[in-house]
Amino acid sequence: MEQNKKKEMMRAIKFTLFSISAGVIEIVVYSLLDALTDWPYWPCYLIALICSVIWNFTLNRQFTFQSANNVPIAMMKVALFYAVFTPVSTVAGNYLAEGLGWPGILVTLINMVFNFVLEFLYDRFFVFGKSLDTNKRAQMKKN
């Protein structure tokens, strides 16, 4: 039981660190687009989010969840998450940034916190839940 808690704590720490790196990518891409274009909030956010998601999925599949599951199926499951999260966060974010005048960077940070919590739970239990620790890296640790 203690070993399982330790493994899940390490999984949460890895997810957090990779999410921070994905967050840096999202903030940099958003900031560059915001500074270099005259686009409204939503396309800057959307492009930054897509870059962040691809980075985060790749690292977490390989290192955090150590999954050997079918990549296209896992990506489709993640796409389903973002099919809901993206429109909600984009519309809500655009309303806060454009409608209420909140700073776009603040709105993006708020969206990132919601994304972090919801995606960890979704990935852990739905996307990779049945294929945790099945890739070559995980199998080498067991031997």
pLDDT in tens, the chain (143 residues): 688 899 999 999 999 999 999 999 999 999 999 999 999 999 999 999 999 999 999 999 999 999 988 889 999 999 999 999 999 999 999 999 999 999 999 998 899 899 999 999 999 999 999 999 999 888 888 76
Distance from C-alpha of 1 to C-alpha of 48, rounded to nearest angstrom: 40
Distance from C-alpha of 96 to C-alpha of 107, rounded to nearest angstrom: 7
The one-letter amino acid code at 36 reads: L
HEC string of 9-54?
A: HHHHHHHHHHHHHHHHHHHHHHHHHHHHCCCCHHHHHHHHHHHHHH
Crossing angle of helices 41-59 and 104-122, in 10° steps, is 30
Query: Which is nearest to 93 in space by CA: 83, 104, 85?
Result: 104
The reported pTM is: 0.83
The one-letter amino acid code at 26 reads: E
